[in-house]
Structure formats: structure tokens, C-alpha cells
Amino acid sequence: MNKIKTLLAVMMVSTMVFSLTVSGSTDSDVNSGTQTTEAHIASEENLTETSTDSEPAAAHSDILVAYFSATGTTKGVAEKIASITGGELYEILAAEPYTEDDLNYNDSSTRATKEQNDKNVRPEIGSEDITLEGYTTIYLGFPIWWGEEPRILDTFVEKYSFEGITVIPFCTSGGSGIGRSGSNMEALAESGTWLDGERFSGSVSEEDLKSWIDGLK
Ligand SMILES: Cc1cc2nc3c(=O)[nH]c(=O)nc-3n(C[C@H](O)[C@H](O)[C@H](O)COP(=O)(O)O)c2cc1C
């Protein structure tokens, strides 16, 4: 009888240890992902706020690389800039993603072209809100659409305050320069210190990006 009691006790203790191990590892996985790799997403602030005093607040870079990329070219350049600067990445996603048909610039009736023809269009952003507090520099990337920034960039710059932040626009294109994109966005943002932007091809080297970044200082 005693042996059976001992066996039952051992099984109960093993079950408790397993449960504690599983719940413990889940929590730390969530927190470590937030603290080391991702931009300061507004909803994730709550994770930091609810952490105990013994846990240090999440440290994050003061550089943000925010970008919109419909077909991945600007995304590649943004990732290189983040890798060079140690900045955090934030992708501006359209709430209604752009389809291949939406992006067909050979047809003037397609979505992207119609949006570019109307300066008042503000496509909704689908990515989580971000807290810009704590960032001092933002590299802001986008493709050139009909010579300018896509209208969703206008949504982004009107949505946030860039007070105390240096904003550095960059773009990719089939060949067109950055044109008036930077000054358009600066006027709409009404805050921040805006530097002249730069156009890159999708295949720009890290070396070329690094010398551009070094030249900004
Ligand atoms: C609607 C639309 C308009 C475009 N207009 C231009 C343009 O005026 N000049 C240019 O050089 N490239 C233009 N492009 C090409 C894109 O700027 C280029 O492919 C860019 O690198 C795409 O970046 P992404 O992959 O990050 O979206 C246009 C592309 C689209 C979809």
C-alpha cells in the first residue's frame, strides 16, 4: 500500500514540474522575441509594462527603418540598412494588400495608378501601430510610383509625430529619382527634421549603402 502511495506521489510531482517548465518557456520566448528583434510595436508595450521590477525594460535601438514595399525590392534595401545601422525594422503594410493587377502601371485604371492621381487618397495601414518615442532617426523607405511616394506613405507621415526625430527618406525605382517625395512627406508630416532622400536600385551593395549612411553624419 505504501509503495502505491509513493508511486502516486512521484507521478504528481513529475506532472507539476512538466507543467511549470512548459508555461515558463512560453513566457520567456515571447519576451525575448520582443526585446531583441522587433520594432517598438505599440501593443507590445504592454508586455514591458506588465513585467516585474526584477526584469529590465526592453532595450531597443534608437534607429528605426520603416518601409513600404509592394514587391520586395525596397524591403531588401531596408533590411541592408537595418543590418548596417543596427536599426529595427517596421514594415508599413496596406490593410488591403496590393495585388498584381493593382500594381499594373500599363493600365491607367488600376488601383495604384488611380491612387497616385489623387493626392487626397490615404490607403489604410494594416500593420500594428508603432510607438516612435525613443527613436531619434528614422530611415523611411518606399518604391517610386509615378515619380512620387505611394499614397500610403502619406497616411504614415500624417499618422505619427516626428518631433525630435531625423527622418531620412530612401526609395527604389526602375530608374526615376526620388523627386519631390521627401518634400511632399515633410510638408504633410509637419514635424521632424527631414534630410534629403536618396534613390537606390534593388541591387545596391551594403558598401554603397554604408558610405551613403556615413556621409549623412
Ligand atoms: C504603380 C507603379 C508605378 C511606378 N512608377 C515608377 C516610376 O514613375 N518610375 C520608376 O522608375 N519606377 C516606377 N515603378 C517601379 C518601381 O518603383 C520599382 O519596381 C520599385 O523598385 C518597386 O519596389 P518594391 O518592390 O519595394 O515595391 C512603378 C511601379 C508601380 C507598381
7-29 confidence digits (pLDDT tens):
444 444 433 333 333 333 333 33
> From the CB of residue 146, how many other CB atoms can be counted at a distance below 10 Å?
13
Helix (H) or strand (E) holding 25: helix 2-36
Distance 7 CA to ligand 1 centre (A): 70
As to burial, measured by CB atoms within 10 angstroms (0-12 exposed, 13-18 middle, 19+ buried), residue 207 is exposed
The atom of ligand 1 lying closest to the CA of 141 is 26
Cβ density class 170-181: b for 16+ within 10 Å, e for less: bbbbeeeebbeb
State pTM to two decimals.
0.80
The atom of ligand 1 lying closest to the CA of 148 is 8
pLDDT of residue 124 exceeding 60, the answer is: yes
Look at residue 204 and tell me if it is in a domain: yes
pLDDT of residue 103 exceeding 60, the answer is: yes
93 and 140 co-located in one domain: yes
Look at residue 52 and tell me if it is in a domain: no
Least confident segment among 29-33, 60-64, 182-186, 205-209: 29-33
Range of the domain at 136: 63-216
Distance 37 CA to ligand 1 centre (A): 29
Domain of 204, CATH number, reads: 3.40.50.360
Look at residue 42 and tell me if it is in a domain: no
15 and 114 co-located in one domain: no
106 and 31 co-located in one domain: no
CA 141 to CA 138: how far, in whole Å?
9
Number of structural domains, the chain? 2
131 and 95 co-located in one domain: yes
As to burial, measured by CB atoms within 10 angstroms (0-12 exposed, 13-18 middle, 19+ buried), residue 7 is exposed
The atom of ligand 1 lying closest to the CA of 76 is 26
| In contact, 127 and 93? CB cutoff 8 Å | yes
Q: Which residues surround ligand 1 with Cβ inside 6 Å?
A: 69-75, 103, 105, 112-113, 143-147, 172-176, 202
